[in-house]
Amino acid sequence: MAILDILNYPDPRLHKVAKPVKEVDASIRRLIDDMRETMYDAPGIGLAATQVDQHIQLLIIDTSETKDHLQVFINPKIIEKSGVQDYEEGCLSVPGVYETVTRAEKVTVEALDYNGKPFTLKAEGLLSICIQHEMDHLLGKVFVEYLSPLKRSRIKNKMLKLTRHK
């Protein structure tokens, strides 16, 4: 396994739309394992393949306190949404920035798991937020795009300044 580089906003590669995974094979499982190591090392609770410059429909999430309940979503599709909730979100691609975003309170998602087996999951609370946040990455969208143009511009400038000082 390897720790992968996470793209930082406003990197244009974060805006690429991910393509469906054609086959869940050893290379996909290896990427999942590398993403898991990367996410836990960061540390984070979710990571989309887009964030590690792999533009396929794959994301991983672990909202457990013990960090031992990894959930894998390959080719995820939200088939139902309900309710509304505000949540202060952060992102491994926008380090140190936390802003309130409004999302659906509950979602039902269909996807394939680590072995390519289809499943359906009903999620609410933090898991629902995380699924929606990571799925946005697969559409080429970063959470700061829900913010006002002024806030977004300030965050972009802050991130660019941080990149220059590395």
Domains of the chain, each with CATH number or no CATH: 12-164 (3.90.45.10)
137 labelled as ligand-binding?
yes
- pLDDT tens digits, one per residue of 113-151: 999 999 999 999 999 999 999 999 999 999 999 999 999
Torsion-angle region of 53 (φ positive above 0: left; ψ -120 to 50: alpha; else: beta): left
- pLDDT tens digits, one per residue of 35-60: 999 999 999 999 999 999 999 999 99
Cα distance between residue 38 and residue 144, in whole Å: 22
Residues forming the active site: 134
Torsion-angle region of 64 (φ positive above 0: left; ψ -120 to 50: alpha; else: beta): beta
91 labelled as ligand-binding?
yes
Q: Give the containing element (helix H, strand E) for 58.
A: strand 58-61
Cα distance between residue 63 and residue 47, in whole Å: 11
pTM: 0.95
Tokens of 99: 């802003």
CB 33 within 8 A of CB 3: no
130 labelled as ligand-binding?
no
